[in-house]
Each structure stands twice: as C-alpha cells, then as structure tokens.
Amino acid sequence: MSPSRPPLPVSKGLVVGLNAVIFASEEGEPRVLVTQGLATPEAALPFGPFDPEAHRTFEIGLREWVRGQTGFELGYVEQLYTFGDRGREAPLAALTGAAGGRVISLGYLGLAREARELSGLGARWASWNEFFPWEDHRHGRPPLIDELLAPALRSWADEAGAPGGRAARLERVRTNFALDGLVWNEERALDRYELLYEAGLVAEAARDQGEPSRARTGTGQIMASDHRRILATAISRLRGKVKYRPVVFELMGETFTLSELQRMVEGIAGFALHKQNFRRALDRAGFVEGTGRFEARTGGRPAELYRFRKEAVSAGPALGLAIPRLK
C-alpha cells in the first residue's frame, strides 16, 4: 500500500490582479499613464482584479480596468512579468477586495503614439523621471547620485556583518550606479530601484515594513503597492527592446523629423546620443525614408519629414536601433 500523500495546500484569499504600464509620446518624450488618489493617495499604475466570471481573458479585463480608470483605449499590449511577492498587495487590498489575502499581478506593457486626453479621476501622463530621478543622464550624470545616493549606499554596504557580505553589497552598488569609473548601464533600472529599496532609501521600503522612513529627499515620488518596481521593470524592458526591435516607432507619429526621433530615443535611453553616429546607424538599418515633405520652422531651416519603413523589419540588416552614446 502506497503511503498517503499530504493534501495540496488550499489558497485562501488569492486574487489575480491586472496591471498596465502604458507608455505614450507627449511633446516628443515618453510618458507613463498613472492615476492619483483612486485607491490610495499615492500615484499608481492602472490596476484592477481579474474577474473570471466577467472577463473571458486577462487582456479583456485589463482593457476594461484601464478604460474605466483613465478613459484611455489600449492598443497593442504584451505581457511584461508576473509579480507575486508576499506582502506586495497590502496597500491596494481595498481596491482588489483581497483584504488579508494575497494578490498576484500580471503586468502588461503597452505603447501608444500619442498621450491622448484622459477622463479618469486623477489620471495623468507623467514623466517616469518623477519616480526615478537618477535615471535621467541626458544633461550629464545627475548630482543626486554622487552627492546623496552613493554615500548612503556605501554606508549601507558597510553595515553588512561578514566581510564577504560587505564586498558583495559594494559590488552591487558600484555596478548598478557606475561608481569608480564604471560605465552606466541604462538597462539596470530595475536593479537600481531594488537596491535602493533593500537599502531603505526609497519611501516604499519603510512603508511596507511599517517603520520610520529612512528615504532621502529627492529619491523620487512614492507609488502605491509595488508599482514603482513594476514601472522599473517596464523601463528596463523597453530600454533593452529598442536595441533588438524597432519598438520606438510605436511611439512616433506617421511622420517625424530625425531630430524628433533622436529626442524620443534619448528620452527612453536616458542619455544623449551622438547625432552623426545615430543617423549613420539609421541609414544602415534602413528603418526610415524621407517623404519629400518638410516641416516649417520659424526662424530655422525646414526639416524633412520621414516615415518608418515597416518592410525593413524583415528585409533590413538590423532588427533594432543602435543608440551611440554621446561621450
């Protein structure tokens, strides 16, 4: 007689949440759709529970929540990540109806060409640099890093008990924030936020532990639940993806100038591009072609309007954009 198996655990209060990170173009720069004061006083991404009775698919449920909270009609979306850490749901339990339970969130990433007018209460298009001010290097390395974050993170590394623990912490600090001459890696947006959270330098860390905040002034606007982590995940995904898929054109209009395209790429990457090298790389990739029409400018030389050549995606030598950094 075979030994009896222990019963499978029964999930109590488990809710599947749906979370949307929607990027759109506003005045030539990427913006993210957030709500304010809907479930908490903190900024939040559009979010709501999946209803298996009312929603035939996760995506249908997501679209309904985004529409209801912001008035925005989603276009193309793709699944980003599944977020299920214990304790992440408490600040939003009232919204999900899972007070005392656990919420597993399916995150989705959406791109839109235009930051259209919103109708939801507290809905707005925000610069993601409101939440991650250390990520914007377009005008040079933010003083915030070396004046505030680096000293605090080094002190946090020194707090590690064992020598090996201190060395491991310090290496993470140096690598993620490009200290001691290391090169800044824009795709580490999530790693940087998680490091700051672990060190207690962002407001969410103390809030989630119910402790007095050690967050430093200037470390970005707090977000509900783990939404800043979800947003950082999306930023890292988008920054990586522009290099192997021409997704930046999902944020551009039907026609655009090369300067507008460069500005958008710089807004995504978070650093200034070398203009000539960027345009040479565009020529080699074959992603754009001139329309023969020009944008009239006051007091300046008219700039030619270009369009995205969709056929170049399969026929061209490159799959994504080269983003040569301005040294």
What are the structural domains, with CATH classification, of the chain?
Answer: 14-129 (3.90.79.10), 133-220 (no CATH), 248-315 (1.10.10.10)
Q: Residue 87's pLDDT is what?
A: 57
pLDDT band at 4 (very low <50, low <70, confident <90, very high): very low
DSSP track, 61-114 = HHHHHHHHHH------EEEEEEE--TTTTGGGHHHHT-TTSEEEEEEEEEEESS
Beta carbons of 287 and 307 less than 8 angstroms apart: no
What is the arithmetic mean of pLDDT over 107-131?
A: 94
- Over residues 199-212, mean pLDDT: 86
Section 92-120 average pLDDT: 76
pLDDT, position 123: 95
Q: What is the pLDDT of residue 97?
A: 47
Q: How far apart are CA 288 and CA 303, in angstroms?
A: 14
Q: How far apart are CA 59 and CA 63, in angstroms?
A: 6
Predicted local confidence at residue 146, as pLDDT: 97
Say how far apart CA 213 and CA 4 lie, in whole Å.
Answer: 49
The confidence band for 41, taking pLDDT boundaries of 50, 70 and 90, is confident
> Which segments of the chain does DSSP mark as H helices, in order?
58-70, 93-96, 143-144, 150-158, 163-176, 189-198, 203-209, 227-241, 258-269, 275-285, 312-315
Segment 282-295, tens digit of pLDDT: 998 899 999 999 98
Q: Can you give the pLDDT at residue 211?
A: 75
Residue 105 is predicted with a pLDDT of: 87
